[in-house]
Amino acid sequence: MNAETAPLVCDVAVVGGGMVGCLLACSLAREGISVVVVERQSPASEWPDDEIDLRVSALTRASQRILDNLGAWEEMVRLRVSPYHGMFVWDQGGSGSIRFDAAEVAEPDLGHIVENRVTRLALWHQLEALESARLLVPDTVSRLDLERRTLLLASGRSLRARLIVAAEGVNSPLREMAEIASRGWDYDQHAIVATIRTEVDSGGVARQRFMPAGPLALLPLNDGRSSIVWSTSPAEAERLLALEETEFCSELAQASEYVLGRVEWVGPRGAFPLRLRHAERYVREGLALIGDAAHGIHPLAGQGVNLGFLDAAMLRDVVVDALATGRDPGAFAVLRRYERARKGGNLEMLAAMDLFKRLFSNDYRPMAQLRNLGLTLADRSGPLKRIVVQRAMGLSGERPSLAKRRLAPR
């Protein structure tokens, strides 16, 4: 067998070098564990200074800690992150509203709005600098032999690993090759995303208005603009996308109840179909699912990638422990520890967001009165608000070691 046909061998093969796959690979390679990432597309590395990616995510404190502990946060701050210190949520169907403020939980901010390309690029750069990491890009998997823990790649290479991880997002081909079912449904909603400039500066406050057709989120950027996520029916999304810029701005201002005054400018617009998905199991002997490959959640509470980062950081703990004690990191019993730590909590979050979506997409009057009462009572209850904020920031429940504290510099 020559070097070309001999399989590449590593401890962990990560398929999908998106935000979650890169984070896992980085966390393992920093421990000297050999990792190969198979990714079909390199991240964008340059963009105009004033252009905001259509895809942004609200990152929690737990995610920030993980990224900081992996050395990526510093570059992200250099590239651009937008902290937000307040959040205001209100309901179209009445007077109910709730406000959150970082000061109430003695934190400097509630989280950061970050372009997905910023997070991915910073992690990618970390990976490029780590000796134990190897990036195979562009490449993809054409066959999985789980018994031999071997992947045949489209490039013709083969790759043998002690553990194979699927991180290719919601339509994960590897999950299908491993015959793991993923259950869920389409929300019959599309999320319109765009960057806007408004008459009033967004002022570091995230705002979300619930409407029967879906929520509208205005996420603050550090130059005073906002990034929007406007969920609505597919037909309405199509109509809104086809509008002239001024008409779109005017409809958006109305939909936001002029909370930031007039909408003066909108950049390019895009739309994403929204689905709920949950894999029946996260692990099989030799294989684990992380991130959107394991679960797809409604973006209304901005939890998707944050859950994915917690998956990755927890799987990292399990693999590091197994290797340190001479166990097989791909053994089913080892991987079950990861599944037990993450699946229940993810399911809880999926169900809670699903319930919220249903509760607020309903214009039945008694229901509207009830949720307005709920919002008002919750707003007045200090302890309840603190619990909600701690949870939303990822600071409660079982946490992986990377999310607990800032680790000593290496």
| Residues in contact with ligand FAD by the rule CB under 6 A | 15-21, 38-41, 57-58, 140-141, 167-169, 173, 191, 193, 229, 272, 291-292, 299, 302-306, 308
What is the residue whose two structure tokens read 């406050």? 205
How many angstroms separate the CA atoms of 91 and 361, rounded?
10
The CB-of-155 to ligand FAD minimum distance in angstroms stands at 11
Nearer to ligand FAD, 88 or 272 (CB): 272
The CB-of-58 to ligand FAD minimum distance in angstroms stands at 4
Nearer to ligand FAD, 71 or 296 (CB): 296
The CB-of-275 to ligand FAD minimum distance in angstroms stands at 9
175: which 2 tokens? Answer: 């999950």
| Ranges of H-type helices in 30-115 | 61-69, 73-79
Q: Is 56 helix (H, G, I), strand (E, B) or coil?
A: strand
The CB-of-341 to ligand FAD minimum distance in angstroms stands at 17
Nearer to ligand FAD, 249 or 293 (CB): 293
The CB-of-288 to ligand FAD minimum distance in angstroms stands at 13
Residue nearest to ligand FAD (CB): 18
The CB-of-16 to ligand FAD minimum distance in angstroms stands at 3
Fill in the amino acid letter for 278: H
Nearer to ligand FAD, 204 or 308 (CB): 308
End-to-end, the C-alpha distance of the chain in Å comes to 39
The secondary structure of 256-322 as a DSSP string is TTTBTB-EEEE---EEEEEEEEEES-SEETTEEE-GGGTEE--GGGS-HHHHHHHHHHHHHHHHHHH
Which of 23, 98, 13 is closest to 62 using CA atoms?
Answer: 23
The CB-of-229 to ligand FAD minimum distance in angstroms stands at 5
How many angstroms separate the CA atoms of 181 and 45, rounded?
35
User: Cβ distance 195 to 225 under 8 Å?
Assistant: yes
What is the residue whose two structure tokens read 């001024």? 246
Nearer to ligand FAD, 102 or 368 (CB): 102
The CB-of-325 to ligand FAD minimum distance in angstroms stands at 29
How many angstroms separate the CA atoms of 52 and 229, rounded?
14
Nearer to ligand FAD, 189 or 323 (CB): 189
DSSP 8-state code for residue 108:
S
Nearer to ligand FAD, 52 or 323 (CB): 52
Nearer to ligand FAD, 10 or 368 (CB): 10
Which of 331, 58, 357, 313 is closest to 184 using CA atoms?
Answer: 357
Count of other CB atoms within 10 angstroms of residue 172: 24
